[in-house]
Amino acid sequence: MSDGFVSVRNLIKTYKMGETDVHALNGVSLEIERGTFNVLMGPSGSGKSTLLYMIGGLDWPTSGSILVDGEQIDQMDENRLANYRRDKLGFIFQSFNLVSSMTAEANIGFPLRFSGIKKNQRLQRALALMEQVGLEERIGHKPTELSGGQQQRVAVARALVNDPPLILADEPTGNLDTQSGIVIMQLLEQLCKSGKTIIVASHDPRILNYATHRINLLDGQLVSDAQYQETLQHLG
Ligand SMILES: Nc1ncnc2c1ncn2[C@@H]1O[C@H](COP(=O)(O)OP(=O)(O)O)[C@@H](O)[C@H]1O
Ligand SMILES: [Mg+2]
């Protein structure tokens, strides 16, 4: 046994596309320590989102095991996975995924409804988180009244609402301008410094400036930094 916070063993994920099998993950093993900022690098189609979804308990692997904070999640049923996601995870997506009819406050407080938290407490929590991401004066705004960068900051606040130890982000700066992207990376860096474990899928090399660890994926397999550089050069 290892003492990794996230421990992935020989992970395989094969999608069936009609008659053909797509090998999205081809035997991935890795250890991630608590409190580290990990960047998952890889070109489009290399399996980054698939790996994040497996660690995030959004889908089951074909084979292999995933331990997070001492819990083996690959065998969990849907109910236990829902609890795991609520207690352990914050997920940030490229396209923000905010509910457009709800204010920032309601979007952030929404996950707390499932924990039976009362409206007033949800508001207090949302306010504190909006302050943390520097948007307290926008708490009553809906997504359409916010810029992309502001929407992603609301999404970061929502990911933090249950104070999860693990933050997963799938191309969180992919839809943002340069400056807004930097703000998101700095927020993630702050979260890492406050003790959270961060895994970010990205092909934006700027994020390497904020990371403590780098993971390279090519065609569903981990490769060294040197192998990664060499292969990408050959691809042009
Ligand atoms: N639901 C799915 N059904 C079939 N194939 C999929 C599905 N999700 C991903 N894939 C395939 O798996 C591979 C890895 O995809 P993905 O994890 O999205 O890569 P990345 O996030 O690095 O772009 C790709 O070939 C993709 O087409
Ligand atoms: Mg992806």
User: If you average pLDDT over residues 166-173, what whole number do you get?
Assistant: 98
Closest CA to 125 of 135, 112, 114, 116: 112
CA of 221 to the centre of ligand 2 (A): 15
Query: Residue 203: pLDDT band by 50, 70, 90 thresholds?
Result: confident
Tokens read off for 117: 């938290």
CATH for 6-235?
3.40.50.300
Domains of the chain by residue range: 6-235
Query: Residue 2: pLDDT band by 50, 70, 90 thresholds?
Result: low
User: If you average pLDDT over residues 109-122, what whole number do you get?
Assistant: 89
- The residues whose Cβ lies within 5 A of ligand 2, an ion, are 48-49
CA of 43 to the centre of ligand 2 (A): 9
CA of 219 to the centre of ligand 2 (A): 13
The DSSP code sequence of 148-211 is HHHHHHHHHHHHTTT--SEEEEESTTTTS-HHHHHHHHHHHHHHHHTT-EEEEEE--GGGGGT-
Whether the model pTM is above 0.75: yes
Each residue of 45-67: pLDDT tens digit? 999 999 999 999 999 999 999 99
Cβ of 45 closer than 6 Å to ligand 1, yes or no, is yes
In this structure, which residue's CA is closest to atom 18 in ligand 1? Answer: 49
In this structure, which residue's CA is closest to atom 3 in ligand 1? Answer: 15
213, 39 contact by CB (below 8 A)? yes
User: If you average pLDDT over residues 161-165, what whole number do you get?
Assistant: 95
Could you give the 3-state DSSP secondary structure of residue 147?
A: coil
Separation CA 154–CA 38 (nearest Å): 22
Cβ of 148 closer than 6 Å to ligand 1, yes or no, is no
Query: Residue 3: pLDDT band by 50, 70, 90 thresholds?
Result: low
Cβ of 224 closer than 6 Å to ligand 1, yes or no, is no
> If you ran DSSP here, which 8-state letter would residue 33 be given?
-
